[in-house]
């Protein structure tokens, strides 16, 4: 499901504008391949014309895989999840693979050193968590109902000798070392171990197994996985004499060239315990004008016409940030549900003076205050002390001057004198401290 504001209110997404509507592909595209191309989701592929014919014909099975290298998926994975959903909406059957075996080995791509091998019990726990996340984005009903698979099921029973004889013999080392991920590591000081060097063979075997069991004819993934994707295509051709396909989505970067969603130790995870819905909403809300239209294409199910209207608004009325508000509402709703999206929009508006703080959901309010400068205080703490403890001012004398000038409020009420105290009267036993119009801090009151 997706959070869909009314079509007559494009300039401002508010709590009143949120309604539930089923996710759907843009009906103006006759072939889902054309929509994927328009959305900028095809960076590299095996054969564009053959893929267009394949996706425009009878239902096929396709797969996308996720390795359990953390307890949650993140925004980069979301590109793959939404792409898989678009293909399913077009009538094709998704196979969501969670890599219980590949997660034990590690992919050499994207790093300049060997991955630390996690304990098997930890990887198994992460498999369960990732499986639950993948399941939220796919439908398990109807003729093209999704299926979740774990590659440990067919890898674990195979002996090393069988693996070498049945799979390894089809791979040539000269070809393997030319793959970008392997080549980069071979040219680094760290080099690459045989374990990670073998990763592409394991992933290729996954494609072969899914082709044999379910007739999978397409694998999707990020373009940085292209070497692994084509390994599977080549293996199926050698072993089964069949032609199958793959395409890679582009790695999403910001217009200034920086990595999308990557800041020091501050990844945007899909698990609400690791990244609150409020924080996710604010992340999308801060999208630059230069990037927001591309983000709407990739991360939402808005139609070509709707996105064209937001493109016009960005050009003509950028100060309204209508596209950013719609993007933030859509993605937060898609990942966390409409109720969570409604709650964080209400919190965002109330914190900045456009709503009633006392009506907010307690959990959402606490999550929002976690993202602000904050401090733990007791009931009865003088507001001037709280101003210092949260860092809104540097000293008590500065705090008293700010109060005397009428520039301080707590829980939406102006502080009249420097004897005022903190009460923690908002839902969840918190208070919101404000200095000036836009400088906020949170108080967790004991």
298 and 408 inside one domain: no
Within 10 Å of residue 75's Cβ, how many Cβ atoms?
Answer: 21
Among 405, 411, 406, 437, CA closest to 423: 411
**Residue 322 located in a structural domain:** yes
DSSP string, 271-307: STTTS-HHHHHHHHHT--HHHHHHHHHHH----HHHH
Contact yes or no for 414/406 (Cβ under 8 A) = yes
Q: Which domain holds residue 432?
A: 372-446
237 and 273 inside one domain: no
**Residue 180 located in a structural domain:** yes
**Residue 220 located in a structural domain:** yes
Domain end position, chosen among 315, 345, 371: 371
441 and 422 inside one domain: yes
Q: Give backbone dihedrals phi and psi of 121, rounded to 5 degrees, phi first.
A: -65, -40
The CATH code of the domain that includes 199 is 3.40.50.620
Domain end position, chosen among 249, 284, 316: 249
Long-range contacts, stretch 307-314, CB < 8 angstroms, 24+ apart: 309/10, 310/10, 313/10, 313/11, 314/289
Q: How far apart are CA 359 and CA 378, in angstroms?
A: 22
376 and 360 inside one domain: no
**Residue 12 located in a structural domain:** no
The CATH code of the domain that includes 351 is 1.10.240.10
**Residue 20 located in a structural domain:** no
Q: How far apart are CA 55 and CA 160, in angstroms?
A: 37
Long-range contacts, stretch 225-229, CB < 8 angstroms, 24+ apart: 225/107, 225/109, 226/44, 226/180, 227/109, 227/179, 227/180, 227/181, 227/182, 227/200, 228/107, 228/109, 228/179, 228/181, 228/199, 228/200, 228/203, 228/204, 229/203
The CATH code of the domain that includes 409 is 3.10.290.10
Contact yes or no for 401/388 (Cβ under 8 A) = no
Six-digit token string for 424: 């923690």
Domain count, the chain: 3
**What radius of gyration do the chain's Cα atoms show?**
25
Contact yes or no for 347/329 (Cβ under 8 A) = no
What residue has token string 């950013």?
324
267 and 173 inside one domain: no
Q: What is the pLDDT at residue 170?
A: 95
Among 355, 196, 195, 341, CA closest to 272: 341
pLDDT < 70 regions, the chain: 1-22, 110-112, 262-265
245 and 261 inside one domain: no
Q: How far apart are CA 403 and CA 420, in angstroms?
A: 10
Domain end position, chosen among 249, 281, 298: 249
What residue has token string 């396909």?
245
50 and 86 inside one domain: yes
Total-model pTM: 0.90
86 and 195 inside one domain: yes
Pairing outcome for strands 408-410 and 413-414: antiparallel
120 and 140 inside one domain: yes
Q: CA angle, corner 265, sides to 259 and 270, nearest 5?
A: 75
Q: How far apart are CA 427 and CA 361, in angstroms?
A: 7
**Residue 207 located in a structural domain:** yes
383 and 353 inside one domain: no
How far separated are the first and last CA of the chain, in Å rounded? 39
**Residue 198 located in a structural domain:** yes
Contact yes or no for 9/329 (Cβ under 8 A) = no
**Residue 366 located in a structural domain:** yes
Q: How far apart are CA 5 and CA 226, in angstroms?
A: 37
303 and 202 inside one domain: no
47 and 183 inside one domain: yes
**Can you tell me whether residue 439 is helix, strand or coil?**
strand
Q: How far apart are CA 109 and CA 183, in angstroms?
A: 9
């Amino acid at each position: 499901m997706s959070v869909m504001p009314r079509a007559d209110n494009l300039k401002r997404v508010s709590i009143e504008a949120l309604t539930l509507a089923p996710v759907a592909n843009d009906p103006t595209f006759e072939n889902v391949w054309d929509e994927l191309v328009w959305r900028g989701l095809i960076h590299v592929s095996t054969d564009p014309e053959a893929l267009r014919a394949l996706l425009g014909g009878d239902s096929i099975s396709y797969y996308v895989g996720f390795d359990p290298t953390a307890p949650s998926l993140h925004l980069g994975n979301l590109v793959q999840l939404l792409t898989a959903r678009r293909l399913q909406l077009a009538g094709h059957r998704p196979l969501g693979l969670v890599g219980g075996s590949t997660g034990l080995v590690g992919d050499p791509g994207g790093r300049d050193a060997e991955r630390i091998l996690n304990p098997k019990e930890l990887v198994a726990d992460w498999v369960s968590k990732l499986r639950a996340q993948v399941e939220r984005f796919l439908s398990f009903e109807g003729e093209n109902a999704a299926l979740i698979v774990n590659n440990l099921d067919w890898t674990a029973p195979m002996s090393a000798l069988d693996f070498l004889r049945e799979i390894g013999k089809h791979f040539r080392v000269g070809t393997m070392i030319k793959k970008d991920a392997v080549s980069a590591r071979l040219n680094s000081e760290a080099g690459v171990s045989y374990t990670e060097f073998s990763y592409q063979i394991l992933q290729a075997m996954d494609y072969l197994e899914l082709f044999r069991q379910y007739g999978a004819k397409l694998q999707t993934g990020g373009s940085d996985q292209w070497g692994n994707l084509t390994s599977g295509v080549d293996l199926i051709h050698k072993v089964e004499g069949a032609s199958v396909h793959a395409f890679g989505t582009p790695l999403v970067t910001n217009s200034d060239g920086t990595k999308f969603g990557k800041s020091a130790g501050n990844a945007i995870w899909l698990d609400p315990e690791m990244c609150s819905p409020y924080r996710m909403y604010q992340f999308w809300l801060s999208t630059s004008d230069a990037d927001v239209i591309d983000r709407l294409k990739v991360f939402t199910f808005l139609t070509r016409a709707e996105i064209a209207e937001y493109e016009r608004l960005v050009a003509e009325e950028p100060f309204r940030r209508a596209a950013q508000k719609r993007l933030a509402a859509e993605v937060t709703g898609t990942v966390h549900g409409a109720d969570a999206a409604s709650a964080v929009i209400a919190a965002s508006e109330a914190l900045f003076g456009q709503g009633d703080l006392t009506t907010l959901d307690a959990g959402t309010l606490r999550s929002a205050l976690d993202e602000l400068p904050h401090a733990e205080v007791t009931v009865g703490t003088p507001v001037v002390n709280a101003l210092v403890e949260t860092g809104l001012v540097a000293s008590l004398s500065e705090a008293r001057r700010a109060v005397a000038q009428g520039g301080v409020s707590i829980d939406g009420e102006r502080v009249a004198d420097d004897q005022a105290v903190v009460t923690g009267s908002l839902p969840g036993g918190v208070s919101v401290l404000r200095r000036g119009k836009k400088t906020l801090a949170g108080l967790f009151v004991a």
